[in-house]
Amino acid sequence: MMPIGPLMIEHRLIERMIDVMREELNIFEKEKKLNPEFLKTAVDFIRTYADRCHHGKEEDILFRELGEKKLNDEHRHTMEELIEDHRWGRKMTARLVEANRRYIEGDRDAMSTAIDCMKSLIQFYPKHIEKEDKHFFIPCMDYFTEAEQQSILREEWEFDKNLIHEKYKNIVIAVEKELTSRTL
Ligand SMILES: [Fe+2]
Ligand SMILES: [Fe+2]
Protein backbone atom coordinates (compact mmCIF):
# COMPACT_ATOMS: atom_id res chain seq x y z
CA MET A 1 0.00 0.00 0.00
CA MET A 2 1.15 3.54 -0.72
CA PRO A 3 1.38 5.91 2.29
CA ILE A 4 -1.56 7.88 0.90
CA GLY A 5 -3.72 4.70 1.17
CA PRO A 6 -4.60 5.09 4.87
CA LEU A 7 -5.10 8.84 4.39
CA MET A 8 -7.57 8.29 1.55
CA ILE A 9 -9.45 5.67 3.59
CA GLU A 10 -9.68 8.21 6.43
CA HIS A 11 -11.09 10.77 4.00
CA ARG A 12 -14.04 8.46 3.37
CA LEU A 13 -14.91 8.33 7.09
CA ILE A 14 -14.58 12.11 7.42
CA GLU A 15 -17.00 12.48 4.49
CA ARG A 16 -19.51 10.23 6.26
CA MET A 17 -19.40 12.43 9.38
CA ILE A 18 -19.77 15.56 7.24
CA ASP A 19 -22.85 13.99 5.59
CA VAL A 20 -24.40 13.42 9.04
CA MET A 21 -23.51 16.99 10.07
CA ARG A 22 -25.30 18.29 6.96
CA GLU A 23 -28.46 16.34 7.85
CA GLU A 24 -28.29 17.41 11.51
CA LEU A 25 -27.87 21.02 10.43
CA ASN A 26 -31.11 20.81 8.40
CA ILE A 27 -32.89 19.44 11.49
CA PHE A 28 -31.44 22.21 13.71
CA GLU A 29 -32.70 24.85 11.28
CA LYS A 30 -36.13 23.26 10.97
CA GLU A 31 -36.58 22.79 14.73
CA LYS A 32 -34.83 26.07 15.59
CA LYS A 33 -32.73 24.36 18.24
CA LEU A 34 -29.33 22.69 18.46
CA ASN A 35 -28.54 19.18 19.61
CA PRO A 36 -25.53 19.90 21.87
CA GLU A 37 -24.81 16.21 22.45
CA PHE A 38 -24.50 15.60 18.70
CA LEU A 39 -22.26 18.66 18.40
CA LYS A 40 -19.98 17.34 21.16
CA THR A 41 -19.68 14.03 19.30
CA ALA A 42 -19.04 15.78 15.96
CA VAL A 43 -16.42 18.08 17.47
CA ASP A 44 -14.67 15.18 19.19
CA PHE A 45 -14.57 13.39 15.83
CA ILE A 46 -13.18 16.47 14.09
CA ARG A 47 -10.57 17.16 16.75
CA THR A 48 -9.43 13.64 17.52
CA TYR A 49 -9.89 11.86 14.22
CA ALA A 50 -9.91 14.46 11.42
CA ASP A 51 -7.36 16.79 13.00
CA ARG A 52 -5.08 14.92 15.40
CA CYS A 53 -5.10 11.50 13.72
CA HIS A 54 -5.55 12.46 10.06
CA HIS A 55 -4.09 15.95 9.65
CA GLY A 56 -1.46 14.84 12.16
CA LYS A 57 -0.22 12.12 9.82
CA GLU A 58 -0.36 14.49 6.87
CA GLU A 59 1.58 17.30 8.53
CA ASP A 60 3.92 15.42 10.87
CA ILE A 61 4.87 12.65 8.45
CA LEU A 62 3.88 13.05 4.77
CA PHE A 63 4.31 16.83 4.45
CA ARG A 64 7.47 16.73 6.60
CA GLU A 65 8.98 14.18 4.17
CA LEU A 66 7.77 16.17 1.14
CA GLY A 67 9.42 19.21 2.69
CA GLU A 68 12.76 17.41 2.23
CA LYS A 69 12.14 17.03 -1.50
CA LYS A 70 12.50 19.55 -4.28
CA LEU A 71 8.80 20.08 -5.01
CA ASN A 72 7.71 21.92 -8.12
CA ASP A 73 6.05 25.31 -7.58
CA GLU A 74 2.52 23.97 -7.94
CA HIS A 75 3.00 21.20 -5.37
CA ARG A 76 4.86 23.48 -2.94
CA HIS A 77 2.05 26.02 -3.20
CA THR A 78 -0.68 23.37 -2.72
CA MET A 79 1.10 21.96 0.34
CA GLU A 80 1.25 25.41 1.94
CA GLU A 81 -2.42 25.88 1.15
CA LEU A 82 -3.31 22.52 2.73
CA ILE A 83 -1.45 23.43 5.94
CA GLU A 84 -3.27 26.76 6.02
CA ASP A 85 -6.58 24.90 5.49
CA HIS A 86 -5.82 22.75 8.54
CA ARG A 87 -5.21 25.89 10.64
CA TRP A 88 -8.47 27.39 9.44
CA GLY A 89 -10.33 24.16 10.30
CA ARG A 90 -8.93 24.24 13.86
CA LYS A 91 -10.06 27.83 14.35
CA MET A 92 -13.56 27.13 13.01
CA THR A 93 -13.89 24.03 15.22
CA ALA A 94 -12.83 26.03 18.29
CA ARG A 95 -15.49 28.61 17.41
CA LEU A 96 -18.10 25.84 17.17
CA VAL A 97 -17.04 24.40 20.56
CA GLU A 98 -17.37 27.84 22.14
CA ALA A 99 -20.79 28.48 20.54
CA ASN A 100 -22.05 25.09 21.73
CA ARG A 101 -20.78 25.80 25.25
CA ARG A 102 -22.59 29.14 25.31
CA TYR A 103 -25.77 27.52 23.96
CA ILE A 104 -25.68 24.86 26.71
CA GLU A 105 -25.36 27.67 29.25
CA GLY A 106 -28.58 29.20 27.93
CA ASP A 107 -27.31 31.76 25.43
CA ARG A 108 -29.78 31.29 22.53
CA ASP A 109 -27.83 33.78 20.39
CA ALA A 110 -25.05 31.21 20.19
CA MET A 111 -27.23 29.12 17.89
CA SER A 112 -26.64 31.24 14.79
CA THR A 113 -22.86 31.21 15.40
CA ALA A 114 -22.92 27.41 15.78
CA ILE A 115 -24.93 27.07 12.57
CA ASP A 116 -22.54 29.34 10.64
CA CYS A 117 -19.57 27.30 11.90
CA MET A 118 -21.25 24.04 10.90
CA LYS A 119 -22.00 25.41 7.42
CA SER A 120 -18.39 26.51 7.03
CA LEU A 121 -16.99 23.13 8.11
CA ILE A 122 -19.47 21.25 5.89
CA GLN A 123 -18.30 23.30 2.90
CA PHE A 124 -14.65 23.17 3.85
CA TYR A 125 -13.95 19.45 4.33
CA PRO A 126 -15.15 18.11 0.94
CA LYS A 127 -13.18 20.83 -0.89
CA HIS A 128 -10.05 20.19 1.16
CA ILE A 129 -10.33 16.43 0.66
CA GLU A 130 -10.83 16.83 -3.09
CA LYS A 131 -7.72 19.02 -3.31
CA GLU A 132 -5.69 16.26 -1.66
CA ASP A 133 -7.28 13.24 -3.36
CA LYS A 134 -7.46 14.63 -6.88
CA HIS A 135 -4.63 17.15 -7.15
CA PHE A 136 -1.91 16.39 -4.64
CA PHE A 137 -1.53 12.96 -3.09
CA ILE A 138 -1.01 10.82 -6.20
CA PRO A 139 1.42 13.10 -8.09
CA CYS A 140 3.39 13.61 -4.87
CA MET A 141 4.13 9.91 -4.59
CA ASP A 142 6.54 10.33 -7.52
CA TYR A 143 8.94 12.23 -5.24
CA PHE A 144 9.54 9.07 -3.19
CA THR A 145 11.28 5.80 -3.89
CA GLU A 146 9.43 2.57 -3.08
CA ALA A 147 11.55 2.16 0.07
CA GLU A 148 10.78 5.71 1.21
CA GLN A 149 7.06 5.11 0.67
CA GLN A 150 7.17 1.97 2.81
CA SER A 151 9.04 3.77 5.56
CA ILE A 152 6.43 6.59 5.59
CA LEU A 153 3.66 3.98 5.74
CA ARG A 154 5.33 2.27 8.73
CA GLU A 155 5.64 5.61 10.50
CA GLU A 156 1.93 6.24 9.90
CA TRP A 157 1.00 2.92 11.56
CA GLU A 158 3.25 3.79 14.48
CA PHE A 159 1.62 7.24 14.77
CA ASP A 160 -1.86 5.65 14.90
CA LYS A 161 -0.74 3.12 17.50
CA ASN A 162 0.29 5.89 19.91
CA LEU A 163 -2.85 7.99 19.51
CA ILE A 164 -5.23 6.13 21.81
CA HIS A 165 -2.62 6.33 24.59
CA GLU A 166 -2.08 10.02 23.94
CA LYS A 167 -5.83 10.75 24.00
CA TYR A 168 -6.50 9.01 27.30
CA LYS A 169 -3.31 10.24 28.94
CA ASN A 170 -4.46 13.79 28.17
CA ILE A 171 -7.88 12.99 29.63
CA VAL A 172 -6.27 11.80 32.88
CA ILE A 173 -4.06 14.92 33.01
CA ALA A 174 -7.16 17.11 32.51
CA VAL A 175 -9.23 15.40 35.23
CA GLU A 176 -6.27 15.49 37.63
CA LYS A 177 -5.94 19.24 37.05
CA GLU A 178 -9.70 19.68 37.48
CA LEU A 179 -9.60 17.78 40.78
CA THR A 180 -6.60 19.74 42.06
CA SER A 181 -8.26 23.07 41.24
CA ARG A 182 -11.41 22.00 43.15
CA THR A 183 -9.58 20.72 46.23
CA LEU A 184 -7.15 23.64 46.60
FE1 LIG B 1 -5.50 17.67 4.92
FE1 LIG C 1 -6.61 14.76 4.30
Side chain identity, residue 34: L
Q: What is the pTM of this model?
A: 0.94
How far does the centroid of ligand 1 lie from the alpha carbon of residue 70, in Å?
Answer: 20
Residue-wise pLDDT tens digits, 138-171: 999 999 999 999 999 999 999 999 999 999 999 9
Residue-wise pLDDT tens digits, 47-89: 999 999 999 999 999 999 999 999 999 999 999 999 999 999 9
Q: Report whether 55 contacts 7 (CB < 8 A).
A: no
How far does the centroid of ligand 2 lie from the alpha carbon of residue 34, in Å?
Answer: 28
How far does the centroid of ligand 1 lie from the alpha carbon of residue 127, in Å?
Answer: 10
User: Which phi and psi (to 5°) does residue 32 adopt?
Assistant: 55, 35
